[in-house]
Structure 1
Amino acid sequence: MAHHYRPPYTNASSNPDIHLKPMHATTTTPSLNSSASNDYYNPVSQYPLGDGEVQRLEARDIRLKKEIRILRLVSRIIATILAGVTLAPLVMTLIKFLQTRNTYYTVDGKQRTAWAANTQTWYMYLYLGVAGMSFAVNLLILLSYCCGVKAANATAKATGWWEHILTAAHLLGWVASIIIYRIGKIPKDSHFQDLWGWTCSPAAEKLQSVITDVNFSMYCTLQTTSFYSGIVNVVTTLVSISTYFLMVYRIESKARLNKKTSYRVDDAREPLRG
């Protein structure tokens, strides 16, 4: 007896409506364990979602980075202003000295200049040089900030440890020049020989009625202002050094973050091995 193959569900009444339907693309994000996708690539997460400790370290690192940048910018602005305040009176005094040092006046029947005999100007030049260098360096760094964060970062990267050396040299230079500038004001054998000491001396005050081209009181005030602004500059430099402690703290925090994330990445990739 012949047997014929009878496929299942040949009866229309018992045949359910099962047939292939087209699959539509979905926007469902592939899982972390999926290795490839035609239209979407999702690498292994740097750390598992919800890892509060790693996220907290990363947030603190970003906050520290922002605070350090703000503090360094503010300290640069203050240092530039103070250096300018220190530099301007010195330049004004030196210009006046150079303009009048060979001008003679008749005082009590004798010819003399408006300045002390054998005037020592190297105190002035030293202090002016330090102030001018400080002003120029800080101004250049501020200009690099104005060109954008990339330019500022490039400047910081190019200087590297030189920036720390320059900061130390800047501080020592200010301290040394201020001390020397103040020592220069001390009279030698009851005679003032530097520009600052002379303009503030009683002898210059007595000559003021005859020598009207030089306002000794004004130039005394200018140089005194320059001296004290230099002291303030030293104080602000010491305060700005505190940013380096924040930088060291951030480096340590960054190291802990990198160590933590490296462990998390290894743990996340472990199921893919084998």
Structure 2
Amino acid sequence: MSDSRAGEATGARQPADLGRVVMCVPTYNEAENLEWVVGRLRRAQPAVDVLVVDDGSPDGTGEIADRLAAADRQVHVLHRTEKAGLGAAYLHGFRWALAEGYDVIGEMDADGSHQPEELGRLLEALARADMVIGARWVPGGSVVNWPLSREALSRGGNLYVRLLLGIKVRDATAGYRLFRRSTLEKIDLSTVQSTGYVFQTELVTRALQAGLTVAEVPIEFVERVRGASKMSGGVAAESMKRVTRWGIQQRRAQLRRALGRR
């Protein structure tokens, strides 16, 4: 694994006293989208840095990221040697960002589904929260170009998460997020177990268990128009299995505490 720009300070600042902000953008075969998305992000939020975390894409995504970084001091690249899952890529990016001294660390997809032009909403909300989620399933949120079956799967999955884990967040599976540095430190990334898409649910659950404030901001999620989605029925099923296991563990712990008090 290598970082083609690690250690280079940019001095980028973000208004509202948030400090230095970086958005982590994981990639695998996103050659059709990466330059387009990074360009939109840099125009929408010029003070925000970008970290591309590429999992050894065979389609040349990593080379495109290097070219963008060579032309812009606020773009950085981490090259990973294998496709180890979304969560693993984010954990790598988060550790790099913490080591580089960033105050706010964010997540967004590389396919354009998370619109960079809406990032300002999340940044504003972070002034009163420890973590912010760009949410589809809150009032004002929406999705574009999704079939009803996929919407039902996402809504149902989030309902299942709320009921089983006892949390009030309505879009715990969403991947458009901002974390304060202190939030990631309290979550303790070294103990995070998930490497796939369920990583999103684990982090929001850990934040709430740590007593942190999680805000949800409505966004318009736009389905990708170029390239292939990495989501599948198998990925969704594996996520639900992990959530079910966590829920059972929580109920057992609650029962033991109740019996102990008696």
- For normalisation by structure 2, the TM-score amounts to 0.21
Point out the structure with the larger helix share.
1
Answer with 1 or 2: which has the greater Rg.
Answer: 1
Point out the structure with the larger strand share.
2
More relative contact order, 1 or 2 (CA 8 Å, 6+ apart): 1
- For normalisation by structure 1, the TM-score amounts to 0.21
